[in-house]
Amino acid sequence: MIQDHLQPGRNSLNLVRLIAAFAVIVSHSYPILAGDDALEPLDTWLAFNLGQQAVGVFFVISGLTLARSWELDSNGLRFLMKRGLRIFPALIGFGFVFSVLIGPFFTSAGVTDYFSDPATLLYPITVPLFFDNATPPLGVFSSAAMAGTVNVPFWTIEYELLAYLTFAVLSVWGSLNRVHQIGSLLIGLGVLSLVGEAGLFDYVHSSAPHIVRFAACFLSGVLLYRLRDQIWRSPVFLPIAIAFGALINDQPGGIIAATAISVSVVVGVGFYTYGQITHWSQRTDISYGVYIYGWAVQQVVAAIWPDMAVAWLVLTSLSLVTLAGVLSWTLVERPAMRFKSSIMRSKRIVAEGAAE
């Protein structure tokens, strides 16, 4: 059962998250070189392409791990504080690194204009506030196929934060404490996705399908944790889910199939260990850094070699973004995680004092 593989050292969830981040980079390589209309891997096979499926995996793992975290410490304020420490320091670090160390070499503006422009100066602040809507530094990547874009992957972080907040509120209210409550919510999301894909989404906000899909993935992760002693790890679910997704393709049910595929990846791959690579990924969790630096690094590589083949862009970008992820983890994320751990230690000290 997956319950037997939840302890550190007995699963590869961090590794799966890293592979998912790499998958996003592979998927993004196509529009980076050919523009926004380029087909990405799986675009014609499934309702969601490779990068979109990978993001679903992020949300499933988040739901699973945060349900466990909540069980260990159900204080809503500490929960949100710890989530903020995981998200925002790395984003601020990215904003500084890009605006100061990368942007000046890839802008069409003069150096004086670049560093005097408010968008450049405020970028480390606007990124964690506005995510993909933050105005990039002046003139960057102006001649690229995806001209001027830097923040593309950050749009999903807004939904991640929304998931954290909603999970904390529902958990405090006791609305996610029982399996039937989570199951009812998932059934409701499934019905809503079918109705929405049949036409309802055309009449509501453009974020509606994303909210439904990510909520379904996140809650599926929560349900996995709640049923951890009843669900066994097995890779057999993954080909079945992919076959189902390919069968319905453009028909209503794409969100359900995408959720099933993302869950199957976690259950079929994440609860096994793979030797030293598993141990390394548990000590060095670079997946978030890889994700947030991926697009910018790819834009840099494409700006230097605009005529390169997709395969070379993938290989070069993965090498460079792995280095960026390691630096982000070592210099920013791990220190923030240590501060998060100090919050937990303070909580235990206070609890012990109250018991005395």
DSSP string, 29-92: HHHHHH-TT---TTTTTSSS-HHHHHHHHHHHHHHHHHHHHHHH---HHHHHHHHHHHHHHHHH
pLDDT tens per residue across span 195-228 = 888 777 777 778 889 999 999 999 999 999 999 9
- Counting residues of the chain whose pLDDT is more than 70, the rounded percentage is 95
Q: Which two tokens stand for residue 225?
A: 């944790």
Question: C-alpha angle with apex 228: 284 to 83, nearest 5 degrees?
Answer: 45
How far is residue 267 from each of residues 66, 191, 232, 326, measured CA to CA in Å? 16, 24, 8, 26
pLDDT tens per residue across span 32-78 = 999 988 999 999 899 899 999 999 999 999 999 999 999 988 888 88
pLDDT tens per residue across span 104-155 = 999 999 999 999 999 999 999 999 999 999 999 999 999 999 999 999 999 9
Backbone angles phi, psi at 127, to 5 degrees: -60, -50
Number of domains making up the chain: 1
**Cα(46)–Cα(259) distance, rounded to whole angstroms?**
12
Residue 354 confidence class, pLDDT cut points 50, 70, 90:
very low
**Cα(232)–Cα(225) distance, rounded to whole angstroms?**
12
pLDDT of 188 higher than 90: yes
226 Cβ contact partners less than 8 Å away, ≥ 6 residues apart: 67, 178, 179, 182
Mean pLDDT of 272-287: 94
Mean pLDDT of 326-342: 88
Backbone angles phi, psi at 348, to 5 degrees: -70, -40
**What average pLDDT does the structure give for the chain?**
91
How far is residue 36 from each of residues 28, 29, 31, 249, measured CA to CA in Å? 10, 11, 5, 21
Which own/partner contact pairs does 199-202 have at CB distance under 8 Å and 24+ positions apart?
none
Per the CB < 8 A criterion, the answer to whether 78 and 343 are in contact is yes
Residue 353 confidence class, pLDDT cut points 50, 70, 90:
very low
**Cα(197)–Cα(53) distance, rounded to whole angstroms?**
17
Residue 24 confidence class, pLDDT cut points 50, 70, 90:
very high
Q: Which residue has the higher pLDDT, 327 or 208?
A: 327
pLDDT of 349 higher than 80: no
Spatial CA neighbour of 146 closest among 295, 27, 278: 295
**Which one-letter amino acid corresponds to residue 73?**
D
The pLDDT, as a whole number, for residue 355 is: 35
**Across the strands, what pairs with 107?**
140
The pLDDT, as a whole number, for residue 204 is: 74
**Cα(179)–Cα(341) distance, rounded to whole angstroms?**
30
Residue 341 confidence class, pLDDT cut points 50, 70, 90:
low
Mean pLDDT of 306-330: 96
**Which one-letter amino acid corresponds to residue 306?**
P
> SS3 breakdown of the chain: % helix, strand, coil, rounded to 5?
75, 0, 25
Structural domain harbouring 305: 2-355
Give the dihedral sign, CA 80/11/183/57. positive
pLDDT tens per residue across span 175-186 = 888 899 999 999
pLDDT of 352 higher than 50: no
pLDDT of 343 higher than 70: no
**Cα(82)–Cα(59) distance, rounded to whole angstroms?**
17
**Cα(142)–Cα(159) distance, rounded to whole angstroms?**
28
**Across the strands, what pairs with 140?**
107
Residue 7 confidence class, pLDDT cut points 50, 70, 90:
confident
